A and B are shown apart, each in its own frame.
Chain A
């Protein structure tokens, strides 16, 4: 019995973007999630579109996403708070300046116009930036949006096309038969489909392992916070002094950064995401970066679990066996990538090929990654700051 053309595992932004595109292309799609919509990495996200100058192999896909972002509100019919005002990397000390200079070398391998600016030029772009800013990288491209609102925009647009999302319906097992996808097993029973999109962050690894497939992803806990609203300060996507800082349209300063805590996940279970006293260090760095923030108040903190591949890049992979299975994960920058990933995954599912530039992003690049790669990397559960 076939219930759906496509089942998407994971109602995060990647799963929702995939579901939206596939439903729009005429498939009957069901999205399943162990918990609520966009409740994991998609709600922790800073909300940046990264053009991936750091990893030129995935930059073409990011640039495809960039084209889609500008019209995403109209496409979906729901506001995303997309703000296209460029992106800044600022150095507040010599060490950061050296790092940025070397990063700039990598950036120049892309066709994105990046500029290296001195401190004064940086402060022209962001007047509240600390006098200690020595310089940094700037591009007028890229931008940011509200992660929760954008994920929900995809969800609602998908619903409008007749798609169905079932929350609190964990997928416990992927079902395959005769080299082909058959469906999934949930606590409520089996659900059958021709094709399966696995967009469940680090749960991807756990669900693929019984099929003998190794998808190296390490889950990591990261902290984020917001301040009370401030008057308009800057509109760019800002990175510096170890923080990402974005001013929302409401005026709150949304920031994250700091030590990573590597963790393990369990299939079908919502992971704990506690905060620690490290939020104080984030706030200290925020004030160092933009002294005017002393006038704000610390309002709310939270943490999230992000999936990280060994090379910290996006993976999009279509399997020959079981046929009908495609998986994706983006190493913590899936938010900005999502509009393009959604198209790539849905096209790979429905047409076996995609016009999106994903050639260098398949799982094949991990062929030589050892099974114990997390231990070798010191990324095993419990490790902190490594």
Chain B
């Protein structure tokens, strides 16, 4: 029994699932963080807008309108009477489990721009989609640098894109989608830079780029985003080191890859496994998309969504959803090639963690944060000693704690994936052999005034433990 359902993520898939549940009479609530307040967009989660958000996004009404116009599925849910919570962040999910048996019915924490609510439910469907992957390079903090998904949202959804001349990094499907959108709105694509030696989206995509007379620089990498207050150019370098050249541009679209938004299932404690095809840890799921936690579902892909739709409609699918057909190059290999190229052509002084201002070199050398003004007596290694062959070689949480990379206000969403690949490349171990940094609630930073509880029961209040001087004797 699914009972009361919460669907997280109003993508086409999330809307389909919510609508299906609603139409068979299930009590369902659909939650989505979009449209985001502009200050939340500046966290670069889920989409990497960078520092150059157009001021038109301050108009909450128009961006809400844009969101509805951009999603017929959401309008359909609205018209059908689904309980829809937009501009609502699901910041936490709580349920009974090991060492935690007093929660009662499963509940999620929701927060809007006005306050917060705890919503009880029975089943949770996680359809949180993907986010931008943007690796570091010199100048990536400048306004004008953004991720592919963010660029497409600015162009098509919100229609507030301000760039005129764009350099694109990457030749994946995402890059091609961005380029088509940009061209259709009269934005010039100055050049496409690709670290690999072929267009990742395939031969047809390469031919199409050629027909559009867009220069594609294979075997090249971005060395620097130039500019003092905003992007004014891009310096490119060939990977063989034979040449560098400058391009005139006002924007750099980093459209290398997207990664699944796994914060919620990971923080809930779903059992995870590494999938190189999506370059991420993802929840293990059964034939019905159910994770290791009962009645918590992960809408991993179209097949998982179909299986879940059948379940909602009362069928019992027996075939496991299975992964989508593997790409010729895994997302992990593609990301690795890019990070390797960027780290090879840029130097160790490049900022890896923007929130905490930590460079690549400081991170990999486990340097204490600069504000301490202290050094380590001796150089140390992050590599773990153990007799167990199953033991993680490196612990990313340890690296976080020592260097503060991924500890800042973006909660690691900008840097954690590059950080783990950088460790893998520099210390010669598989990404899977690195214990991933934990995800923690809240899933987005939240103003204290919005989330602070205003309904503390007398029971909790009276029994609140006064650590640590409640010393009692038998």
Question: Which residues of A are in contact with B by a Cβ distance under 8 Å?
Answer: 36-37, 39, 43, 50, 54-55, 73, 76-79, 81, 89, 96, 99, 103, 148-149, 152, 156-157, 159-160, 164-169, 186-188, 221-222, 227-228, 239, 242, 244, 249-250, 256-261, 263, 271-281, 283-287, 293-302, 305, 310-312, 332-333, 369, 373, 376-377, 382, 384-386
- Interfacial chain B residues near A258, Cβ < 8 Å: 464-465
- Interfacial chain A residues near B442, Cβ < 8 Å: 298-301
Asked if B219 CB lies within 8 Å of chain A CBs, one says: no
CB of B411 within 8 A of CB of A300, answer yes
27 contacts between A and B (CB under 8 A): A36-B398, A156-B377, A157-B377, A160-B377, A164-B385, A166-B385, A167-B386, A169-B388, A222-B467, A239-B467, A242-B464, A249-B372, A272-B98, A272-B100, A275-B441, A277-B118, A280-B452, A280-B453, A285-B464, A294-B448, A296-B448, A297-B445, A300-B407, A300-B411, A312-B472, A332-B468, A384-B101
Known interface pairs A37-B398, A276-B103; A287-B392 also in contact (CB < 8 Å):
no
A168 to chain B minimum Cβ distance, whole angstroms, is: 4
- Interfacial chain A residues near B94, Cβ < 8 Å: 274-277
- Per-position 1/0 for B298-333, Cβ under 8 A of A: 000000000000000000000000000000000000
Known interface pairs A228-B409, A299-B445; A188-B473 also in contact (CB < 8 Å):
no
CB of B463 within 8 A of CB of A221, answer no
CB of A271 within 8 A of CB of B404, answer no
- Interfacial chain A residues near B376, Cβ < 8 Å: 77-78, 156
| Most chain A CB atoms below 10 A, which of B97, B391, B398 | B398
Interface set, chain B 82-141, CB cutoff 8 A to A: 92, 94, 97-103, 107, 109, 116, 118
> How many angstroms from the CA of A188 to the CA of B92 in the assembled complex?
39
- Interfacial chain B residues near A244, Cβ < 8 Å: 467-468
> How many angstroms from the CA of A186 to the CA of B435 in the assembled complex?
21
| Most chain A CB atoms below 10 A, which of B466, B472, B474 | B466
Interface set, chain B 248-285, CB cutoff 8 A to A: 269
| Most chain B CB atoms below 10 A, which of A227, A285, A298, A385 | A298
> How many angstroms from the CA of A287 to the CA of B442 in the assembled complex?
17
- Per-position 1/0 for B422-437, Cβ under 8 A of A: 0000000000000100
Asked if B384 CB lies within 8 Å of chain A CBs, one says: yes
Asked if B380 CB lies within 8 Å of chain A CBs, one says: yes
- Interfacial chain A residues near B2, Cβ < 8 Å: none
> How many angstroms from the CA of A258 to the CA of B285 in the assembled complex?
35
> How many angstroms from the CA of A311 to the CA of B474 in the assembled complex?
8
B230 to chain A minimum Cβ distance, whole angstroms, is: 26
Other 7 A-B pairs with CB < 8 A, given A78-B374, A166-B385: A273-B99, A280-B451, A280-B452, A287-B448, A299-B445, A302-B438, A382-B102
> How many angstroms from the CA of A245 to the CA of B368 in the assembled complex?
23
- Interfacial chain A residues near B374, Cβ < 8 Å: 73, 78-79
B438: nearest residue on chain A (CB-CB)? A302
B113 to chain A minimum Cβ distance, whole angstroms, is: 14
> How many angstroms from the CA of A73 to the CA of B372 in the assembled complex?
12
| Most chain A CB atoms below 10 A, which of B100, B454, B456 | B100
CB of A369 within 8 A of CB of B387, answer no
- Interfacial chain B residues near A148, Cβ < 8 Å: 401-402
How many A-B residue pairs lie within 8 Å, measured between CB atoms?
217
Which of the residues B107, B385, B440 comes within 8 Å of A300, measured between beta carbons?
B440
B466: nearest residue on chain A (CB-CB)? A242
- Interfacial chain B residues near A295, Cβ < 8 Å: 448
| Most chain B CB atoms below 10 A, which of A81, A89, A299 | A299
CB of A250 within 8 A of CB of B452, answer no
B440: nearest residue on chain A (CB-CB)? A300
Asked if B460 CB lies within 8 Å of chain A CBs, one says: yes
Known interface pairs A250-B369, A312-B468; A279-B402 also in contact (CB < 8 Å):
no
Asked if B446 CB lies within 8 Å of chain A CBs, one says: yes
> How many angstroms from the CA of A377 to the CA of B103 in the assembled complex?
22
CB of A167 within 8 A of CB of B384, answer yes
- Interfacial chain A residues near B440, Cβ < 8 Å: 275, 300-302
CB of A152 within 8 A of CB of B474, answer no
A47 to chain B minimum Cβ distance, whole angstroms, is: 12
CB of B377 within 8 A of CB of A259, answer no
> How many angstroms from the CA of A259 to the CA of B459 in the assembled complex?
11
| Most chain A CB atoms below 10 A, which of B368, B384, B442 | B442
Which of the residues A99, A168, A369 comes within 8 Å of B466, measured between beta carbons?
A99
Which of the residues A160, A166, A276, A333 comes within 8 Å of B387, measured between beta carbons?
A166
Known interface pairs A36-B435, A103-B469, A369-B474; A385-B98 also in contact (CB < 8 Å):
no
Please classify the interface of chain B as helix (H, G, I), strand (E, B), loop, or mixed, using the class held by over half of its residues.
loop
What's the interface size class on B, roughly?
35 or more
- Per-position 1/0 for B390-401, Cβ under 8 A of A: 111001011001
A384 to chain B minimum Cβ distance, whole angstroms, is: 4
Which of the residues B99, B102, B391 comes within 8 Å of A305, measured between beta carbons?
B99
- Interfacial chain A residues near B61, Cβ < 8 Å: none
> How many angstroms from the CA of A125 to the CA of B391 in the assembled complex?
48
Asked if B25 CB lies within 8 Å of chain A CBs, one says: no
> How many angstroms from the CA of A50 to the CA of B468 in the assembled complex?
9
CB of A312 within 8 A of CB of B448, answer no
CB of A286 within 8 A of CB of B448, answer yes
A283: nearest residue on chain B (CB-CB)? B452
CB of B441 within 8 A of CB of A301, answer yes
> How many angstroms from the CA of A89 to the CA of B456 in the assembled complex?
23
> How many angstroms from the CA of A279 to the CA of B101 in the assembled complex?
16
Known interface pairs A36-B398, A261-B99; A283-B464 also in contact (CB < 8 Å):
no
- Interfacial chain B residues near A274, Cβ < 8 Å: 94, 97-100, 269
Asked if B447 CB lies within 8 Å of chain A CBs, one says: yes
- Interfacial chain A residues near B409, Cβ < 8 Å: 228, 297, 299
- Interfacial chain A residues near B228, Cβ < 8 Å: none
Known interface pairs A249-B372, A259-B465, A272-B97; A188-B387 also in contact (CB < 8 Å):
yes
CB of A36 within 8 A of CB of B395, answer yes
CB of B398 within 8 A of CB of A77, answer no
A385: nearest residue on chain B (CB-CB)? B463
- Interfacial chain A residues near B451, Cβ < 8 Å: 280, 283, 298
CB of B449 within 8 A of CB of A287, answer yes
Asked if B59 CB lies within 8 Å of chain A CBs, one says: no
| Most chain A CB atoms below 10 A, which of B99, B109, B376 | B99
A207 to chain B minimum Cβ distance, whole angstroms, is: 19
Known interface pairs A168-B384, A274-B100; A385-B465 also in contact (CB < 8 Å):
yes
> How many angstroms from the CA of A168 to the CA of B100 in the assembled complex?
24
| Most chain B CB atoms below 10 A, which of A36, A242, A256 | A36
> How many angstroms from the CA of A299 to the CA of B390 in the assembled complex?
32
CB of A297 within 8 A of CB of B464, answer no
Asked if B243 CB lies within 8 Å of chain A CBs, one says: no
Known interface pairs A263-B99, A284-B454; A168-B378 also in contact (CB < 8 Å):
no
CB of A259 within 8 A of CB of B468, answer no
> How many angstroms from the CA of A260 to the CA of B472 in the assembled complex?
15
- Interfacial chain A residues near B92, Cβ < 8 Å: 275, 277, 279
> How many angstroms from the CA of A369 to the CA of B474 in the assembled complex?
9
B362 to chain A minimum Cβ distance, whole angstroms, is: 14
- Interfacial chain A residues near B100, Cβ < 8 Å: 221, 261, 272, 274, 276
B406 to chain A minimum Cβ distance, whole angstroms, is: 10
Asked if B371 CB lies within 8 Å of chain A CBs, one says: yes
Asked if B242 CB lies within 8 Å of chain A CBs, one says: no
CB of B469 within 8 A of CB of A54, answer yes
B338 to chain A minimum Cβ distance, whole angstroms, is: 28
Asked if B471 CB lies within 8 Å of chain A CBs, one says: yes
